[in-house]
Amino acid sequence: MRDTLQQFQKLATALLQDEATHPVADFIPADTLYDALDLSLQKEGISEEVFEEALQELVFKTPRTATSAFFNQLFGGRNEKAVLGELLAVLLNNSMYTYKAAGPQIGVEKVVLRKVCELLDWDAQSDGTLAPGGSMTNYMAMVMARDAVDSATPYQGIQKKMTVYTSSESHYSIPKNAAFSGIGRDQVRYVPTNDFGQMNADALAALVSEDIAKGFTPIMVNATAGTTVLGAFDAIPPLRAICDEHKMWLHVDGAYCGSVMFSDTYKHLIKGVSQVDSFSFNAHKMIGTPLSCSIIVVKDKKHLYNSFSNDASYLYQTDHDEFNLGKTSLQCGRRNDALKFWTLWKSVGTNGLQNIVDHQFYLADVAREYIRNNEDYTLYSYEESISICFNYKNIPARVLCTALYEQEALLVGYGSFRTEEFIRLVTINAQNEKEDILHFFQTLEQFVEQHQSLLAEPANS
């Protein structure tokens, strides 16, 4: 193992050095991938030397998500303390289903979950778990909502025609999960939003009433804390009122921006969250842990047991089961995703988590100010969002983003809201500084200057 660790150290050091001067990896068109890299597997093994070369080649050609040129998705950066926790989790290789197999690591996960619940002002009846990604924590919420409305469902299957409600700006995992859970994609109602991309509560109430009149059973509203494109926050209190009236489950999908809960400055964006039934967030997005670190908490833990324990009901749990986390998880064998969050949290404290979140909003302010002061840009987003949506010199966003990628200049994506398509810059990498954001714009402007002909071509098909 010692040699292997040295090999890792060597590879990692080489990568970090190269990243410093080449923040974007070489672009390999997908259709030439197997020519560009030898990824083949053979009957015979290879020498250590050839193996090491192949590994270095692969590592060097892989998209670089930790550099100051990566703004493509809702994650980025490389948080050292969290990386350390993740490396240790791999080395320890526990499975989180029982105390017997994971020992103190169970305590690590429980402490993280308890602290999250406390920050939401929830009592000892609350609990949570981790799942492989925000799509899956949303799935768990939908299953609990389904079973809460009819406790026979886990045994007999769905008997009622159920409906779920989410905004037109919400994540695509909602219809996917409706398909998984037997509710059905066709029973997802997309509630229109206001000009800021937030769910319109009056429209929600009308849709719910309509469905009840048609004989449906509305079971759940999914509110979004940080919509995928605009980074908008649905207002929670009006949705709570509608859910109370119709005995519906209220979930907050905070995969993107739910981590504002750690910031005294920005937690007002999820005001009312202490009144919801379940809340999920991805620490691998705003907090910057390695992928994946997705947490879901529920106000009443009986729902976790009712939907995910395949054994005795919650009442008959022994104390020991409190430490057998398999009783409340989606999976059987489960990797230790809590440790990387714990190592970070332990090291920087809750105040350190707040600083991470606040810094992202600061960087977003820097970006918006730059755009506002430069007439070649059009800004589409608004304050208190870390997604900055804009266009430059009326160049179609998808043409510019694709060219930036293929020419190895920047990785940034595009999105749309209503009729506008635009570039979406996300200031989610808290290791960036003001200069990095200004550098992003300089790079983009120089690129446009130097690639006029490329950008004049029609969007690549």
Ligand X SMILES: *Cc1c(COP(=O)(O)O)cnc(C)c1O
- Residue type for 366, please? V
Q: Which residue is nearest to ligand X, using beta carbons?
A: 134
Residue choice 86, 109, 169, 253 for contact with ligand X (CB under 6 A): 253
Residue where the block lists tokens 């319109």 = 200
Least distance (Å) from ligand X to the CB of residue 255? 3
Least distance (Å) from ligand X to the CB of residue 103? 27
- Note whether 133 binds ligand X by CB under 6 A: yes
Of 57, 68, 70, the closest CA to residue 11 belongs to 57
- Note whether 177 binds ligand X by CB under 6 A: no
Least distance (Å) from ligand X to the CB of residue 54? 29
Residue choice 134, 175, 218, 326 for contact with ligand X (CB under 6 A): 134
Of 401, 270, 262, the closest CA to residue 345 belongs to 262
DSSP-derived secondary structure letter, 301: T
281-340 residues in contact with ligand X (CB under 6 A) are: 282, 292, 294
Question: How many Å apart are CA 105 and CA 109, to the nearest integer?
Answer: 6
- Note whether 173 binds ligand X by CB under 6 A: yes
Contact stretch for ligand X (CB under 6 A) within 51-59, 251-259, 412-420, 443-451: 251-259
CA dist 186 to 139, 179, 334, Å? 16, 9, 32
Contact stretch for ligand X (CB under 6 A) within 26-34, 130-138, 342-350, 444-452: 130-138
When the beta carbons of 105 and 173 are compared against ligand X, the nearer one is 173
User: How many residues can be counted in the chain?
Assistant: 461
Question: How many Å apart are CA 299 and CA 377, to the nearest integer?
Answer: 44
When the beta carbons of 74 and 353 are compared against ligand X, the nearer one is 74
H or E stretch covering 365 = helix 338-372
Least distance (Å) from ligand X to the CB of residue 364? 16
Residue choice 67, 224, 328, 443 for contact with ligand X (CB under 6 A): 224
Contact stretch for ligand X (CB under 6 A) within 36-44, 79-87, 210-218, 249-257: 249-257
User: Using CA atoms in the order 446, 450, 451, 453, what is the torsion angle rounded to 10 degrees?
Assistant: 140
Least distance (Å) from ligand X to the CB of residue 224? 5
Token reading at 234: 């649905």
H or E stretch covering 114 = helix 104-119
Contact assessment for residue 146 and residue 162, using Cβ atoms and an 8 Å cutoff? yes
Question: How many Å apart are CA 333 and CA 81, to the nearest integer?
Answer: 25
Q: Is 330 helix (H, G, I), strand (E, B) or coil?
A: coil
Token reading at 374: 């430069």
292: cis peptide before it, omega within 30°? Answer: yes
When the beta carbons of 122 and 256 are compared against ligand X, the nearer one is 256
Contact stretch for ligand X (CB under 6 A) within 57-65, 131-139, 182-190, 442-450: 131-139
- Note whether 278 binds ligand X by CB under 6 A: no
Least distance (Å) from ligand X to the CB of residue 282? 5
Least distance (Å) from ligand X to the CB of residue 72? 13
Least distance (Å) from ligand X to the CB of residue 174? 8
Residue choice 71, 249, 256, 414 for contact with ligand X (CB under 6 A): 256
The count of residues interacting with ligand X (CB under 6 A) is 16
When the beta carbons of 276 and 403 are compared against ligand X, the nearer one is 276
Residues 23-62 vs ligand X: string with x where CB under 6 A? ----------------------------------------
When the beta carbons of 147 and 253 are compared against ligand X, the nearer one is 253
Token reading at 154: 């886990």
Sheet holding 70-71, edge to edge: 70-71, 411-417, 420-426, 387-392, 377-379
When the beta carbons of 403 and 412 are compared against ligand X, the nearer one is 412
CB-facing half-sphere around the CA of 67: CA atoms within 13 A: 23
- Note whether 74 binds ligand X by CB under 6 A: yes
H or E stretch covering 417 = strand 411-417
Sheet holding 249-254, edge to edge: 127-131, 294-298, 278-282, 249-254, 217-224, 162-167, 188-191
Least distance (Å) from ligand X to the CB of residue 75? 8
Question: How many Å apart are CA 294 and CA 75, to the nearest integer?
Answer: 13
Least distance (Å) from ligand X to the CB of residue 176? 10
Contact stretch for ligand X (CB under 6 A) within 99-107, 146-154, 224-232, 432-440: 224-232
Least distance (Å) from ligand X to the CB of residue 40? 30
- Judged by the rule CB under 6 A, the positions of this chain that interact with ligand X are 74, 133-135, 138, 171, 173, 224, 226, 228, 253, 255-256, 282, 292, 294
